[in-house]
Structure 1
Amino acid sequence: MDDFKRSNRANWDERADLHALDRTGFYAIDRFLAGEDVLYPIESREIDDVDGLRIAHFQCHIGIDTLCLARRGAAVTGLDFSPRAIDHARDLAARAGLAASFVEGEVYDAPERIGTGFDMVFTSWGTITWLDDIHSWAEAVAGVLEPGGRLYFADTHPGIGPLEEEKGTLQPRYDWRSLRERPEHFESATTYTGDATQLTATRTYEWMRGVSDVVGALLRAGMRLDWLHEHELLPYRHFPMMVDAGQRMFALPPGIPRLPLALSLQATRTV
């Protein structure tokens, strides 16, 4: 493990402990344990019926979405590089009385770690920005799917990744594409859920990339793009100016030019 990944994993181990407590309700754990389906509206609307499907959930974190898919009737395996996240995911599965498998490991090693023959790979919200090799990610997606299996992907739109809010406007701050050996680095004293607890592992590294990088990697890995959607909502305040849009989603405020904030797509393994 290189220094970038080591730093990121230390940060995500700490975040997993805080997120499992869910003091701010960001992850809606209490609502989930009470029986509510807490997938966000975008993926809930787009994934179609998953009952009876065998699903691999890449970068599953503490397992809330994994278990929502299980509650919908899927046989789900969650994969994450944070051992603390995997511990919490297994605990949530036991508390919810739901069957799901959780495996610690790198996404790139998914075929070896969780096997092959899956009907679907599911991945959403804050995932590929943490990966230094988009082509190896796409190969892992194709590698675990059976021919005809599909990927569902939803995440922050790459077009807003280079922007930061400055004095009430959005300004470009970062390059739109990062070299593998030169990611952007960030210092965050707290996590994104609103929990004020101070982190000790504050430095993280992320890789910027364009839509063409994501789609191109999937095509090169033997996937067919079925559809691609852009959305003006996100399930978190990517910029401080964003306003509550209901259903645990956020939007840019009035007076700010409309921008695509999220991107979702479906791709199918062709061979």
Structure 2
Amino acid sequence: MTEYKDNYIAINKANWDERAPEHSRSTGYDYQRLVREPSYVSEVVQFDIPLMGDISGLEIVHLQCHIATDTLSLVRRGAKRVTGLDFSPAAIKEAKDLAVKAVGGDKLNFVEASIYDALDVLPPASFGMVFTGIGALCWIPSIKRWAETVAALLKPGGRLFIRECHPALWAIDETVTDSLITGIPYFERDEPHVYDESGTYVETDHVFENTKTVEWNHGIGEIVQSLIDAGMSITGLVEHKSIPWNALRGQMEKIEPFGEFALKEGRDNLPLSYTLQAKKNA
């Protein structure tokens, strides 16, 4: 496992470089609709709106922005300017192409860097909000370092907004299709979990060559405490019964609105995602 931990960035980058162009072409993302419809906001951000509230005039940094569908959506929700950061050059290319093609893209800026190198390419204490979308934290080994990066990027009084897959769901063995069985550690461990999967989470005919990914789970308590230790105050924590993709094949169904998926049975038995908000102490 040490070989995977030591090389996790290169392994994951190869995987995401191959995924990015397929995701921008897929109907599983709102990429093409964002180009066609000047006022459209991605379904992920539509879900976030009630808890996120007004972001008018904010300078926002979107960490692990991928192909920028949510990044652009934040601009359309009123952000003054949004900077997207991602470690995948292929994802940054798709993001920049979206900015050129879509109304509102002139308020976007993109930088290529890993999450832990954010302060090497972005000015500290410069943002009114750090936004992190769903499916991001599993790619980083240390939630403590992530929280320290978030706090360092924010102005005093600035806020964090994150909606993420629930670590209780990450702990479920997705190869079991008829019951909920834990097979992955809930808590952060030094050694990662290595997956080898032939596809991606959207429909595509592409045959992938880079199929391995290296991932970590982080418990809710670990995430919350890391933010507190980094000088943040928790202002909200809401658990949800849905998630934007079919995470457990055979056990989920699509629901409306926002194109979310929920358990077919026992929806009160397992949280699938959560929204966490925090504020940087003055």
**Which residue in 2 is equivalent to 1:155?**
164
Q: TM-score, normalised by structure 2?
A: 0.91
Q: Does 1:46 align with 2:23?
A: no
The answer to whether the 8 A contact 2:255-2:262 is kept is yes
Q: Does 1:268 align with 2:279?
A: yes
**Which residue in 2 is equivalent to 1:174?**
184
The answer to whether the 8 A contact 2:25-2:32 is kept is no
Question: CA offset at residue 198 of structure 1?
Answer: 1.6
Question: CA offset at residue 106 of structure 1?
Answer: 1.3
- Aligned with residue 113 of structure 1, among 83, 101, 121: 121
Q: Deviations over 1:47-75 (max 9, x none)?
A: 11111100000000001111111122211
Find the residue that maps to 2:181 and give its secondary structure: strand
The answer to whether the 8 A contact 1:232-1:258 is kept is no
Question: CA offset at residue 4 of structure 1?
Answer: 1.4
The answer to whether the 8 A contact 1:63-1:89 is kept is yes
The answer to whether the 8 A contact 1:178-1:184 is kept is no
- Aligned with residue 101 of structure 2, among 95, 101, 105: 95
**Which residue in 1 is equivalent to 2:217?**
208
**Which residue in 2 is equivalent to 1:31?**
33
The residue type equivalent to 2:98 in the other structure is L
Q: Does 1:198 align with 2:207?
A: yes
Name which of structure 1's ranges 241-250 and 77-86 shifts more when overlaid on structure 2: 241-250
**Which residue in 2 is equivalent to 1:21?**
25
**Which residue in 2 is equivalent to 1:80?**
86
**Which residue in 2 is equivalent to 1:258?**
269
Q: TM-score, normalised by structure 1?
A: 0.95
Find the residue that maps to 2:71 and give its secondary structure: helix
- Aligned with residue 11 of structure 1, among 8, 15, 20: 15
Q: Name the CA distance, whole Å, in 1 between partners of 2:23 and 2:253.
A: 22
Q: Does 1:59 align with 2:64?
A: yes
The Cα RMSD (Å) is 1.5
The answer to whether the 8 A contact 1:157-1:262 is kept is yes
The residue type equivalent to 1:251 in the other structure is A
Q: Specify every segment of 5 or more residues in structure 1 that has no aligned partner in the other structure, as ranges.
A: none
Q: 1:133 to 1:232 in 2, by over 3 A?
A: same
Name which of structure 1's ranges 189-198 and 77-86 shifts more when overlaid on structure 2: 189-198
Question: CA offset at residue 109 of structure 1?
Answer: 2.0
Aligned length: 268
- Which consecutive aligned stretches of 4+ in structure 1 deviate over 4 angstroms post-superposition? none
